[in-house]
Amino acid sequence: MLPSSFGQRVARSLWRAAPTLAYSGVVGWGARRTLPPVVRKAVIGGFARKFGADPAEAEKPIEAYQSIQEFFTRRLKPGLRPIDSSPNAIVHPADGRLVAAGVSNEDSRVEVKGISFSIPQLLGGEDIAAPFIGGAFAITYLSPKDYHRVHSPSEGEVTGWVHIPGTLFPVNDGSVAREPGLFAINERHVTLMEGPVGRFAVVMVAAVGVGHITVAYDPTVATHNGLADDGQIRIRRYPEVQRPRMERGGEVGIFHLGSTSIILFEKGRATLESADVGATGRVGARIGTRA
C-alpha cells in the first residue's frame, strides 16, 4: 500500500493536470444545447433527480426550459425566498451549504477549518482588499442541486466590479483540502458595494463546469465572453451618479453551472452571529446583523 502522503501527492498532481478549462467548455456547450420539446421533461427531470434539484421550486414547469443550463439558471417561484425585513439584518446571498464564516485575521488572510486564502489575491489587489481586512466573511458552496442566482446580503449601491481570470478547479471539500488558496486561484467575479453596512463585496468563484458568470446590474459583463481574453484583471469603477442600486436580497449575478459565493464586510461593520456553519442556507434568511 502506498504511503498516504505519497498517494495524496499523486492525487493532487493528477487533479492539477486535469484539463478543466477545456472540460468546462465541453460541459457548458452541452448544457446550452436546445433540447427537442419531446425529450425536455425526461432529460431535465433526469438531471434534477440525479443531483437532487427540486423542480417544484422553479418559476416555470420543467418542460418549459429549453436546455439544462436554462433550468440550472432558473428563477424560483415568487415569494419562495422571503427576505428578512429586520432593519439591521444581513441575509444569505445564496442557497447552499455554509462552509465557513468568521472574521479575517489582520495579516490579510482567511484561515479557518482548512480554508486558506489571501484577501488581496482573492479580490485582485491590496487597495481593493484594504477595507475588508479584519472584517466578517462567509463562504457558501452551491452544489448542482441548488438555485444558482446570487443575491446581495444588504442594501446599497454597486461601486464597481473586478474580474480575475484563473483556473476552473472543482470547489468541493476534497478540492479545497488539496489546493491551498483555491478560492483565490479559480476565476472569480467581485461585485463591490457600499451601503448602511459600509463597504462589502460579493465574490462569485467559478469552478469546473462553470466558467461563465453574468451579473444582473450590468448587461455588458459576461465572463468568457470577451471580458478578459488576454488573461488580465479587469476593474470597473462606476461614477457616483451611475451606480446601480441594489436592494437587500436583490439579484447580483448568475452562475451558469455551480460554484461558490463569498461575502466580505468592512472591518467592524457586520457580525454574523446567525451563521450556522455546515447547515444549508437559503437566500434572504438572516445570517447576521450590521453594526
Joined together, the cell numbers standing for residue 280 give: 444549508
Query: Exposure pattern of 57-70 as b/e (b: 16+ CB <10 Å)?
Result: ebeeebbebbbbbb
Angle at the Cα of 212 (from 133 to 282), degrees rounded to 5? 60
Could you give the CA distance from residue 67 to residue 159 in angstroms, rounded to a whole number?
Answer: 34
Beta-carbon contacts of 63 under 8 Å, excluding residues fewer than 6 positions away, are 37, 40, 41, 44
First CA to last CA across the chain, in angstroms?
54
Could you give the CA distance from residue 207 to residue 146 in angstroms, rounded to a whole number?
Answer: 15
Q: Active-site residue 229, yes or no?
A: no
DSSP label at 53? -
- Catalytic residue, from 24, 108, 152, 259: name it: 259
Q: Active-site residue 151, yes or no?
A: yes
Could you give the CA distance from residue 214 to residue 227 in angstroms, rounded to a whole number?
Answer: 11
Could you give the CA distance from residue 87 to residue 155 in angstroms, rounded to a whole number?
Answer: 11
- Catalytic residue, from 92, 148, 151, 189: name it: 151
Could you give the CA distance from residue 152 to residue 94 in angstroms, rounded to a whole number?
Answer: 9
Is residue 249 within 8 A of residue 83, CB to CB? The reply is yes
Q: Active-site residue 146, yes or no?
A: no
Overall residue count recorded for the chain in this entry:
291
- Catalytic residue, from 92, 95, 108, 224: name it: 95
| Half-sphere exposure for 63 (CA within 13 Å, toward CB) | 6
The residue among 160, 241, 153 whose CA lies nearest residue 197 is 153
Q: Which residues are catalytic?
A: 95, 151, 259
